[in-house]
Amino acid sequence: MCGFAGYFGEGVAPQDARPLLHRMVAAIAHRGPDEQGIFAGPAVGLGHARLSIVGLADGQQPMTHTNGDSTIAFNGEIFNYVELRETLKAQGHIFRTGSDTEVILHLYERMGPDCVSLLNGDFAFAIWDASAHRMVIARDRMGVRPLFYTTVGRTLYFASEVKALLQVPGVRAEMDPLALDQIFTLWAPIAPRTAFRNIFELEPAHLLIADKGGMSIRPYWQLQYPDIGEPAAYTDERVAAEELRALLTDATRIRMRADVPVGSYLSGGLDSSIVSALAAPMAPNGLSTFSVTFGSEEHDESAFQMQMAKALGTHHHAVACGDGDIASTFPDVIRFTERPILRTAPAPLYQLSGLVREKGLKVVLTGEGADEVFAGYDIFKESRVRRFCARQPGSRIRPHLFRKLYAYLPGLKQQSAEYLAAFFGAGDDLPDDPLFSHRPRLRGTAAAKLFFSGDLRQALQGYDAAAELISRLPGDFGRWHPLHQAQYLESRFLLPGYILSSQGDRMAMAHGIEGRFPFLDHRLVEFATRLPPEMKLKGLVEKHILREATKDLLPESIGRRTKQPYRAPDSQSFVGKNERDYVREAFSEHRIAEAGLFNPKAVSKLYEKCSEKPASGYRDNVAFVGILSTQLWQQTFSATKALGAQAA
């Protein structure tokens, strides 16, 4: 796990190449604190910051093939590198290191850019192909590892984080108004757009190839589901459960490969408990597990964490996210997310990765991805209930099912059937709407845009982020089962756009920690897409097939737990006794007016409301955190007014 940066083109003078690369790498040194390296040639440069995990003594980067034809800068891990190396050796390839990095170079020699099809891993890399005079850039299938790019003149610049690109002369940090609208609707920009105008994200499962003829981008893999009516690939639940167990076990096994100890996050929920249970017997010196605890009963899962740690006999460590901790760390969180965010959930994970580093580990397994792959989120069940209610719009019984879905939200327990139906929009949306499953979330989130300034509204000129999302859906989307449509929306957009970035890579790598995700092994993902919907969501029981496949691994109380989504206190983290000077300053009318993105009077009223009543509702919390994080983003990155030009 590392970070890299580079360029391709004539825009960098030879005497400026190494100083520029050093500045770019220094900006992301937190990603690779163990070692740095530079490669510079005519019109091409690569820089690398290394976190030593595999091939400690012999995997230095950038790495050049022994034949001199190709040089790579690589971020991440190739988990099947051992098997690939043996195959390549049998074909006559000779290796001088034991690293997965060199395996990519040899595989590229044999297959060119198509080598990505054989890689099982979480990766981003850039290969300079001197013989073909081209730069080949790739990102893993699910978007675990980040990669950004921009152009200045005819020169392409790229890096693991935007911070590195901001070291390039001519690259400016300006807020993209359309990206901000997307964040305040969808929680994240729609790639390739980023919060930064004219700086782009390479989408998951894509290749970027640049040569003298220009630049082209293409997908090499796609998330695909069967059409409705297509014969089921699996009809026997027992057989499917056995195959799932085998795939998940192997996905965990190959993610335990490292020259350093591998730990595991343990939230107390089903997914991280399964991963920890599979990993524990594979850890030669015992498994270290790590958790976040909260003082708030609504957010805390420590009882389940301790139960699971005790059952597995792990070396367990916990970090307490107490009053004021979120406010104390939030400016750093935004510096690492490099984008505004709508919830505070990344902040405790920032603390957690700090604990992992403090305990001397560099690698942790996590349960992320299981909810997307096996239909674990409440939104999937909610969508099913909304369709159920829509078939009998006048029913006073059916809306009570919503209360069952959200037992962890005390505010819903006493509400009437009419309130529940209205709150969740039962009957409001057309069943054939491509975004049917997500409309209530989108409406609730987009309500925060009421705080946008007149100038920002003018710049957006009626832009519709949800409509753009629909335009990005594949042509066969409408032929999929509704559950699969909802899974696609989560897996293709929110997962890489927020979960794996703001809550995942960025919070872990802020402390030089690599997260590994067994549930996102592409073999497991492809297997799950072929499962019948009822094996994943059986009635209102989420992840049914996963529970069946792993029920012998967990205490019954954890194996049967319903999904409790990971959340953290929002606006209440910044008001009252938790208030900080930077928060008051960010919400001051003159700072809001100076930034130009929000209505100063409306924001002032919101701040007063949340200060007086910290337990504000979802919409107020989203607006509060979104405005604060945007103000911090402006302060951290932008040297110019956000609306210096009209939306592109």
Could you list the active site residues?
A: 2
Q: What is the 3-state secondary structure (H, E, C) of 122-147?
A: EEEEEEEECCCCEEEEEECCCCCCCC
Cα–Cα distance, 283 to 289 (Å, whole number): 11
Tell me if residue 226 falls in helix, strand or coil: coil
**Residue found under tokens 């994080």:** 629
Cα–Cα distance, 65 to 67 (Å, whole number): 5
Read off the tokens for 205. Answer: 């499962």
* Among the listed residues 564, 509, 182, 504, the one whose alpha carbon sits nearest the alpha carbon of residue 346: 504
Say if CB 126 and CB 6 are below 8 A apart. Answer: yes
- Return phi, psi of residue 456, to 5°: -65, -40
Identify the bridge partners of residue 71 per DSSP, sorted by sequence position.
64, 128
The 8-class DSSP code of residue 617 comes to: -
Distances (CA, A) of 237 to 363, 369, 521, 542: 34, 21, 21, 15
Tell me if residue 394 falls in helix, strand or coil: coil
With vertex at residue 145, the alpha carbon angle to CA 140 and CA 149, rounded to the nearest 5 degrees, is 95
Chain-centre distance of CA 386, in angstroms?
A: 28
Sheet strands side by side (includes 155-159): 35-41, 44-50, 2-8, 155-159, 148-152, 200-201
Residue spans of beta strands (DSSP E) within 249-295: 262-265, 288-294
Distances (CA, A) of 504 to 143, 223, 384: 11, 21, 29
Q: Where are the alpha helices (DSSP H) in 44-99?
A: 81-90
Tell me if residue 553 falls in helix, strand or coil: coil
- Return phi, psi of residue 541, to 5°: -100, 110
With vertex at residue 379, the alpha carbon angle to CA 122 and CA 445, rounded to the nearest 5 degrees, is 90
The answer for residues whose C-beta is within 8 angstroms of residue 421's C-beta and 6 or more apart is 389, 399, 427
Where is 505: in which H helix or E strand? Answer: none
